[in-house]
Amino acid sequence: MSEKQFISSDAGASAAPQAQAPDQAPDILLIICDQLRYDCVGSSRARPVKTPHMDAIARGGARFLNAFTPQPLCCPARQSLLTSRRPERDGLLWNHDITLKTPSLMPGERLWPTRLREAGYRMAYVGKWHESADYPPTAFGYDTYDSDDDYAAYREGAFGPADFQGWIGGEVDPAPTEHTHTHWLARQACRRLDEFIDGEGTGSGLSTGAGAGAGSSTGTGAGSSAEAGPWHLRVDFSEPHPPYRPAAEFARMYDARDIAQWDSFCEDFHNKPYIQKQMIHTWGIEDYGWDTWSTIVARYYAYVSQLDDAIGKILATLARSGRRDNTLVILTPDHGDMCGAHRMVDKHNVLYDDIVHVPLLMMWPRVLRPGMEIDAFVQNTLDIGPTLLEAAGLHRPGGVGGSGVGGSSVGGSSVSGSDAGVGDKGVGGTGVGDASSSAEPVAVDGRSLFPLFSGAVPSDWRDCAVSSYNGQQFGLYTQRMIRNNEWKYIWNTADMDELYCLRDDPAELENRVYDPCCADVLKDMRRGLHDVLVKEGDGLLKSHWMRNQLLGVTKKL
């Protein structure tokens, strides 16, 4: 595995500016999607999905070619976005609102949204909230919250109770586009942007939210936007998560007869973990042929294009504001979607690239050169927090997740050492229920992406990606994955492992874990995974039996 990764830009692009935050703190627009595949964004040039507005972000800034989620599950991925830690560090193992119970985030730790707010940012949250079962975004640093419950009330008031039927197959949403969830969310986001631009909205650190799922809360303020200070808006879409329910105008964009099969659709599950074949029977889709799947994939494409259209409305409002040049725009999902790849649906019990390799797009005209393509390995939800803090000047180069080693201070309280900067324990504990009032730094696993913005890659930059899975509504099933440019190894603790040569088999069809020609590669990948898991505090390796299994000291069947 190489120490550095290549960074390129479009021919004719101007020289890169220095990768440092401008003197004026940027506005921050963070757009999170749900289950958006890497290859279904137009700029990937992989599938014929129309996403002109996402593509505009990529053209205007940077597209990350090797971004991976730390865990392909909704709650843990979003929780790691706030903590910048792998979910396993905090015992956040799966979605807290389905079947088996698991902890969720609690207020108390000074995570990056709180630190932005303390620094004078006006903070607004719109859309899906899956980080805490009991507390809304306003308990984690946001001033206002427009929730999915607000949309549900709006929708029922306008059209009556929903009567949707399909889940796996999806269906066309009978509501006009402007009344769908994507476009309602976009309107709320544009309204919040207009308030920020007009100098309204709270920036004093006074929360106006009431509780999880509470109605919209509106802050007050006056004066010009420049006088009011910078803003941060997070917009969290639940699309294109299944069931795929595009509005009619987008459903008409794609003909199922024109949809090409996924390269992995010929999956026969030979020499694969038992659970994968079991899953298609559990879902009841074992007899689905491509004639069925092509219709479903066409709806997925349509849902992605509808999402893109809604994002375009938000970007248009930003462009009209005159503040786009110093606005950092980030778009990424929690994870991808199987959507028929390997004949599977949704996610669960697999770590194929379909769900762990994700789009990550950034635009910041004052800092990022247009058309950059960054090939370094990044972990999207882990790295965003440190990047935002460095962008806002809240940690000096060398703070945690920053460009090197050192410390940072915010609001007069200093935090030092390699773990400082993204989250530290304030009154209330660690954020996952620990009542400790210690001010000691909390470890983080992400790092700022600033070193990549100008083309330089630190010698200690990660040369692989690691993802995990622990189970969900289909039972417990523990997996850990390590992937570099050529190989992927998946440690399935209760089943056969997986090893794929991505150079020869990008569709991940041939499991070569038992191939004697790959014995040295397998040994190296296992050792590499072991070292990352130890460094990042994965509890699986507290057991010497599990360490021995991973390293091959004991026989792995």
Question: What was the pLDDT predicted at 227?
Answer: 64
Across the strands, what pairs with 407? Answer: 416
- Nearest Cα neighbor of 30 from 149, 110, 121, 103 is 121
SS3 call for 68? strand
Residue 353 has a pLDDT of: 98
Could you tell me the maximum CA-CA distance found in the chain, to the nearest angstrom? Answer: 70
Integer-rounded Cα Rg, in Å, for the chain is 23
> Pick from 217, 36, 1, 221: which is nearest to 122 by CA?
221
pLDDT, tens only, 31-86: 999 999 999 999 999 999 999 999 999 999 999 999 999 999 999 999 999 999 99
pLDDT for the residue numbered 120: 96
- What is the per-residue pLDDT across 464-480, written as a single tens digit (0 to 9) for each? 999 999 998 888 899 99
**Positive or negative CA dihedral for 277, 283, 288, 293?**
negative
Paired tokens of 43: 């700029």
pLDDT at 311: 98
pTM of the full structure: 0.88
3-state secondary structure of 192: helix
Residue among 228, 252, 483 at smallest CA distance from 355: 483
d(CA 485, CA 305): 29
3-state secondary structure 28-39: EEEEEECCCCHH
What does the pLDDT read at residue 98?
83
- For position 204, what pLDDT does the model report? 43
Q: Around Cβ 332, how many Cβ atoms within 10 Å?
A: 25
Query: How many Å apart are CA 376 and CA 268, to the nearest integer?
Result: 33
Nearest-angstrom CA–CA distance, 48 and 195: 37
- Give every residue of the chain whose pLDDT is below 70, as ranges: 1-22, 200-227, 396-442
Q: What 8-state DSSP symbol labels residue 43?
A: G
**3-class SS of residue 508:** coil
According to DSSP, residue 330 is labeled E
CA 308 to chain CA centroid, nearest Å: 16
Q: What is the pLDDT of residue 445?
A: 94
323 φ, ψ (degrees, to nearest 5): -110, 10
